[in-house]
Amino acid sequence: MDTLKSLYAEAVRVVENAYAPYSRFKVGAAVLMENERGERRVFTGVNVENASYGLTVCAERVAVFKGVSEGYRKVIALSLLAVKDGEVVPVLPCGACRQVLWEFAEGDTPIYNGERTYSLGDLLPGGFRLD
């Protein structure tokens, strides 16, 4: 739980960097990832909106993609939160983010939103994987 709380603190730290001029719904995420040498590192992300709404990218995917771009391929844990009108809102990953997480995580990977811990498998039963 300490890992999840420290990840949550990282998500809190970065959430104000979100670019959300359309929804005004800022999301921050922090993901602990591991590379093939067993080294672990935290990557953060925020949502980045676009006037063409379909091009918006969620905070969780930004964090995971940052990790992957640095050679980290295994998600160990994720924490996230949103801020709307100055209030913290507990959120969970959207369907697209759940599937991206499934690509790099196991079903029992914990996801913490400041109120409760969920497993990825509970949020995405039967996630799609090629192997």
Strands 25-35 and 72-84 turn out to be antiparallel
CATH number of the domain at 2-123, please?
A: 3.40.140.10
List b or e across 63-83, with b for residues whose CB sees 16 or more CB atoms inside 10 angstroms: bbebbbeeebebbbbbbbbbb
Q: What is the pLDDT of residue 129?
A: 82
Considering the entire predicted model, what is its pTM? 0.95
For residue 78, what pLDDT is reported?
98
Domain range list for the chain: 2-123
Q: Could you give the C-alpha distances from 79 to 22, 52, 71, in angstroms and in order?
A: 24, 27, 20
Q: How confident is the model at residue 130 (pLDDT cuts 50, 70, 90)?
A: confident
Query: Rounded distance, CA 69 to CA 36, Å?
Result: 13
User: Any catalytic annotation for residue 60?
Assistant: yes
For the segment 40-97, what is each residue's pLDDT rounded down to a tens digit?
999 999 999 999 999 999 999 999 999 999 999 999 999 999 999 999 999 999 999 9
- Contact indicator for 79, 90 with CB cutoff of 8 Å: no
Catalytic residue among 49, 60, 106, 115: 60
Percent of the chain with pLDDT over 70: 99
Tokens of 45: 């992300």
